[in-house]
Amino acid sequence: MRITAAVAREKESPFSVEELELESPRAGEVLVRVVATGMCHTDLICRDQWYPVPLPCVLGHEGAGVVEEVGEGVTKVEPGDRVVLTFASCGKCATCLRGRPSYCLNFFALNFGGARLDGSSPISADGASVHGHFFGQSSFATHALATERNVVKVPEEAPLEILGPLGCGVQTGAGAVLNTLHPEAGSSIVVFGTGAVGLSAVMAARVAGCTTIVGVDVRPGRLELARELGATHVVNGAETDAVKAVKEITGGGADFSLETTAVPAVLRQAIDALGPLGTCGVIGAARLGTEASFDMNDVLVPGKTIRGIVEGDSVPDVFIPRLVELHAQGRFPLDRLVRFYDLEGINEAARDAEEGAAVKPILRTSRG
């Protein structure tokens, strides 16, 4: 079928909106008419080749839409179902079988390989293959071909146009708090970086009952929004020694910290800002090969933990519906993060994301 899609053709170059061909679903695959898709930091760093995703490629991995067709053997969804698209996993390796799909042994190939595991891409332009299957979806398009494993059915009444970010950035931040750190009510947490992922963590910390929630950023507007979404304190890292400020706020160091910026110096702050037995979750996606340092004794003696977290340790079929319900109850105001663009405005959306003018750009391609 003919689709319209945004293609990343060259490193660090604008997206090109083009007419392409998309295959019909194979066994286990699901064709989704995309209503809207979020733009994530990962889309931009893959366009810029921080990760070696082959180009040209249709990116996009926070899609939400309506099922139009299913391949042989698919029973989880049927045409007409409303779904959120999330990351891909094989379902067969040791970590998938243990219920940890975000640590799938085939994660990199399935999500960053630009093709199915057999090397084929479902997308082409005038007979020439274009890399697709990005995160098992390539949803910067009017239609996406996903798999049964990475579609999550959501209620008919759910606001589909804002739900795409639940598939990656939002579940990453919220899941890091609710699925990984498991803060006790009354505990303290500091979130370094209050973009979409960090603000999702702030909202989740409020849901969890943290009574001291500190947001650290260098953009005053982001810090103001963090306060509105649940932060009890904010720190402008461009004006203040963030580690000193956090220790003063928490009375010696936070119980938990999250690093969302992928900046090594900020990771060091996130570790240093912890109190005894504190845990630092590392979320930010840095360029491959990026190294960071910390004081080994400052980790050893206070018993600190540094923990990498992928996709919020989420089992999407369980966690995404929970976030949808929290939003429906008014306890997770996801709509406060978003700004809408047409697919043809993707380069404006990318620019606004990089400059910090938009927290979570969402590209709308059709009506729900």
d(C-alpha 2, C-alpha 190), whole Å: 47
- What are the residues whose beta carbons fall under 8 Å from the beta carbon of 162, sequence distance 6 or more? 36, 334, 335, 338, 362
- What does each of the 368 residues of the chain score in pLDDT, given as a tens digit? 999 999 999 999 999 999 999 999 999 999 999 999 999 999 999 999 999 999 999 999 999 999 999 999 999 999 999 999 999 999 999 999 999 999 999 999 999 999 999 999 999 999 999 999 999 999 999 999 999 999 999 999 999 999 999 999 999 999 999 999 999 999 999 999 999 999 999 999 999 999 999 999 999 999 999 999 999 999 999 999 999 999 999 999 999 999 999 999 999 999 999 999 999 999 999 999 999 999 999 999 999 999 999 999 999 999 999 999 999 999 999 999 999 999 999 999 999 999 999 999 999 998 87
- What are the residues whose beta carbons fall under 8 Å from the beta carbon of 47, sequence distance 6 or more? 8, 11, 12, 13, 15, 59, 350
Which CATH number is associated with domain 2-167+333-364? 3.90.180.10
Question: Which helix (H) or strand (E) segment is 220 a member of?
Answer: helix 220-229
pTM, two decimal places: 0.97
d(C-alpha 278, C-alpha 171), whole Å: 22
Do the domains at 2-167+333-364 and 173-310 have one common CATH topology?
no
Q: List the domain boundaries for the chain.
A: 2-167+333-364, 173-310
Topology of domain 173-310 in CATH is: Rossmann fold (3.40.50)
